[in-house]
């Protein structure tokens, strides 16, 4: 009987943590008067895995309060909302802001976001230099431009 109650208690605690995390993310997104470091839009022509989430083909917007906070991604249809933390923050690559997608096996996965105006690249699927070169040579990497709605440079984001 005690074991059964403990399992149920653990399940309730887990769901409470998940709910609190979701509410925190929604609260971040809903703050008024708090300028975002980056807001942009992009379109994916096919299904893409981003962390544990699966994004169907379609139009998306992305919003980040700063480089240290998660990227909040919304589908234009409103059916998909998620937030993701980068594994690594690195110096940006030259060029336009973009989402880099790589093909791994049968899955397309978001590898990184390049945000040159912020001077940073957010890496979600770290690769070794050799892996990255091989994927590029094999044509397994695609980039999708992010049309930038706004960029606010803050000292903490540089």
Percent of the chain with pLDDT over 70: 72
3-state secondary structure 71-108: EEEEECCCCCEEEECCCEEEECCCCCCEEEEEEECCEE
Q: Identify the residue with better confidence: 53 or 1.
A: 53
C-alpha 121/C-alpha 127 separation (Å) is 13
Angstrom distances, CA of residue 11 to CA of 15, 43, 143: 6, 37, 40
Q: Are 148 and 40 in contact (CB under 8 A)?
A: yes
**Closest-CA residue to 139 (of 112, 103, 93):** 103
Q: What pLDDT is attached to residue 149? A: 63
pLDDT in tens, 53-111: 899 999 999 998 888 888 899 999 888 888 888 888 999 888 889 999 999 889 999 99
Residue 60 in tokens? 């998306």
pLDDT tens, 10-51? Answer: 555 554 444 444 444 444 444 434 456 889 999 999 999 998
Structure confidence at residue 105 (pLDDT) = 86
Asked if pLDDT for residue 157 goes beyond 60, the answer is no
C-alpha Rg value of the chain to the nearest Å: 18
User: For residues 149 and 39, is the Cβ–Cβ distance under 8 A?
Assistant: yes
**pLDDT at residue 77, rounded to an integer:** 87
Per cent of the chain over pLDDT 90 is 39
Residue 121 has a CB neighbour count (10 Å cut-off) of 20
Q: For the whole model, what pTM was predicted?
A: 0.69
């Amino acid at each position: 009987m005690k074991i059964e109650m403990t399992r149920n208690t653990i399940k309730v605690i887990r769901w409470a943590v998940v709910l609190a995390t979701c509410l925190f993310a929604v609260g971040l997104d809903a703050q008024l008067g708090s300028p975002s470091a980056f807001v942009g839009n992009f379109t994916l022509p096919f299904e893409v895995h981003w962390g544990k989430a699966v994004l169907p083909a379609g139009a998306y917007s992305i919003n980040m309060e700063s480089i240290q906070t998660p990227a909040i991604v919304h589908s234009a249809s409103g059916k998909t909302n998620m937030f993701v933390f980068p594994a690594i923050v690195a110096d940006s690559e030259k060029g336009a802001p973009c989402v880099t997608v790589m093909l791994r096996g049968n899955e397309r996965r978001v590898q990184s976001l390049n945000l040159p105006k912020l001077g940073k690249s957010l890496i979600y699927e770290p690769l070794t230099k050799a892996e990255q070169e091989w994927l590029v040579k094999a044509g397994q990497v695609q980039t999708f431009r992010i049309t930038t709605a706004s960029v606010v440079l803050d000292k903490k984001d540089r």
